[in-house]
Amino acid sequence: MSLTALDLIVLWGPPVVIILFAIGYYMWWGKENEESRKPTCGGEA
Amino acid sequence: MVALSTVTFVLYMGAVFLIGVYGYYGTETFEDFALGGRGMKHWVVGLSAQASDMSMWLLVGLPATAFVTGLPAIWIGIGIIVGTAFNWYVLSKRLRRYSGLLGSITILDFLEERVRDNYGVIKFVGSISLVIFYSIATAGEFIGSGKVSNAVFGFDFFTGTLIGAGLVLVYTLVGGYLAVSYTDVLQSIVMLAAVLILPLIGFIGIGSVSAGLAALHSANGAAVSLFGSQSGLFAVVGFLSGTLGIGLGYPGQPHILVRYMSIDDHRNLRRSSLLGMVWVVFAVYGSIFLGWAAGAYLGDISNTDQIMPLLSMQLLPNWLVGVLIAGAFAGMMSTSDSKFLVATNAVAYNLYKRFVDEDASDRTITLVSRGALVVIIAAAVWMASPSGHVFNVILGGWGGIGASFGPLIIAALYWKRLTKLGAYAGMIVGMGTVAFWLALDVSSFYALVPAFIFSSVAIVVVSLLDDEPPEDVQDEFENAMDTSGLRVEDGHTGQTDVEVD
């Protein structure tokens, strides 16, 4: 018995995609507005 | 002679309690107790959110289901990963910002403040939901405790459930948010190790995923195709609702959401999310692969909740078995204490102090909180039956909480038009649908899916029929969502000055 191409895509696709997304979010997309969000008055706890 | 597995198990438990005691002495105010003083580091939040999510379900329930169902179990994994991602990337930052602005310490505080519920309905209904459905989920944890203790230490089922109940009781009494968070970091590492080591060794022996699934199919007839034996639209939709649909529960779990609220700065959630997502992907896949590997080594066994301990006794040295079993108990403890922290505070503050004795002293509140803890644990022990399955019982509780809070949390964070009456309707319809579904025992379709839909519809319809929210509530919503440059300051409630006994 061997897994079909569809089986392999469903099996390995989601974890690969989500980890790539998590890395991308950490390195790029999640940084939105951070530079412009330096405190202008006071600071957050 | 005492087995090495028992020695390592006891040593691990001792270490956990010592860390818990250390955390407890860092607790001074109610905000410390319930939210770690809103100053938790990103790595603590990332790991403790996952540890408080995953329980005996990850190490016992999910492998058992993967063992029985075969390849289709992958849909469950996908549902969990997508649900976790939704929480981190869609909810966490907004929740931290908005709850910080309102000075809310708990999820129920936040919902009440968000819609200006001056009648206490949200806290009343929410507290009832927490107590009922957390009790059900905890019964599932104790079933796991009974079965794992039986397989490894030879205790009868009831003694095993009492051991689980005793551990959870003492662990939670040490409690408080700091204690829970610190110990959860350790627990998350041990849980991850447990679900990675066993399938890794198992599949090195088997050779490949295909070979493992083929051996499983030979052993118990588990499916080797993506949808198993399901055919026809209704059957496939019902099947997907019970697998992918599990992910719908994530937005509504207060014991997980409160972790996001505890971080020192909402921008640090970006770091926490990477840690949390990597953890959950490896943990969930490890758990499913553990179940798939078992067929080649154990053949067909009837008590599927004992797969993890039986496989570890077959493949690992005795001392390491103790560590893996500790991992399963770690899952139970780290999840149960997080839930009880939420539920007992809800009973003490939202029910007792609000409706019974408004002038209750801190000492009385503490006594009520601990009394509620004992009642919930006793109810869970009473409900734990050896014929129950960890996976199904815990999912029953998960669905009830997810439907009560999930749609409302999303609406509270993303829909300015949400009103107080809409919030009431959403909670009551969500909770009622799951209760009704469980009573009818419609097991072919997971209760959370219809309950989530009905609750969402109720929120939208009733809110639109109601008057618009007051101006100040709408301005507050805009302010909390503002990402134009100014940072949102944390607010404060009077509760932060309450001393913890």
Q: B422-446: per-residue pLDDT in tens? A: 999 999 999 999 999 888 876 667 8
Q: A24 in contact with B at a CB cutoff of 8 Å?
A: no
Helix then strand count (H, E) for chain B reads 22, 0
Mutual orientation of helices B269-298 and B209-220 as an angle, nearest 10°? 50
The domain tally of chain B equals 1
A28 at the B interface (CB within 8 A)?
no
First to last CA, chain B: 42
Say which residue, B17 or B32, is predicted with more confidence.
Answer: B17
Q: Which of B125, B135, B139, B127 lies closest to B430, judged by CA?
A: B125
**Is residue B469 in some structural domain?**
no
In whole angstroms, give the CA distance from residue B155 to residue B441.
32
Chain B (262-301) residues lying within 8 Å, Cβ to Cβ, of chain A: 264-267, 270-271, 273-274, 277-278, 281, 285
With respect to residue B15, please indicate whether it lies within any of the assigned structural domains. yes
Q: Which of B307, B440, B415, B338 is nearest to B130 (CA)?
A: B338
The reply to whether residue B487 touches residue A39, judged by beta carbons under 8 angstroms, is yes
- Residue B43, amino acid: W
Check if the beta carbon of residue B222 is closer than 8 Å to that of residue B70.
yes
Q: Quote the CA–CA distance of A5 and A15 in Å, as a whole number.
A: 16
- The CA distance from B422 to B461, in Å, is 7
**B471 within domain boundaries:** no
Q: What is the residue range of B364's domain?
A: 1-385
pLDDT digits (tens, 9 = 90+) for B244-272: 889 999 999 998 998 888 888 888 889 99
Best residue of A6, A10, A17, A18 to probe chain B, by most B CBs closer than 10 Å: A18
Asked whether residue B426 is domain-assigned, the answer is no
> Which of residues B492 and B100 earns the better pLDDT score?
B100
CATH number of domain containing B328: 1.20.1730.10
Residue B192 reports pLDDT greater than 60: yes
Nearest to A40 among B217, B273, B486 (CB): B486
Does B498 map to a domain?
A: no
Q: For residue A28, what is the nearest residue in chain B, using CA coordinates?
A: B270
Write out pLDDT tens, residues B306-349.
999 999 999 999 888 888 888 888 778 878 877 888 888 889 88
3-state SS string for B384-405: CCCCCCHHHHHHHHHHHHHHHH
Question: Residue A42 in 3-state DSSP?
Answer: coil
Determine the Cα–Cα distance for residues B77 and B288; give it in Å rounded to an integer: 8
Cβ–Cβ of B82/A25 closer than 8 Å? no
The reply to whether B482 falls in a domain is no
Instruction: Tell me whether residue B444 is in a domain.
Output: no
Show which of residues 90-109 on chain B sit within 8 Å of chain A, judged by CB atoms: 100
B218 touches chain A (CB under 8 A): no
| Residue B240 is assigned to a structural domain of this protein | yes
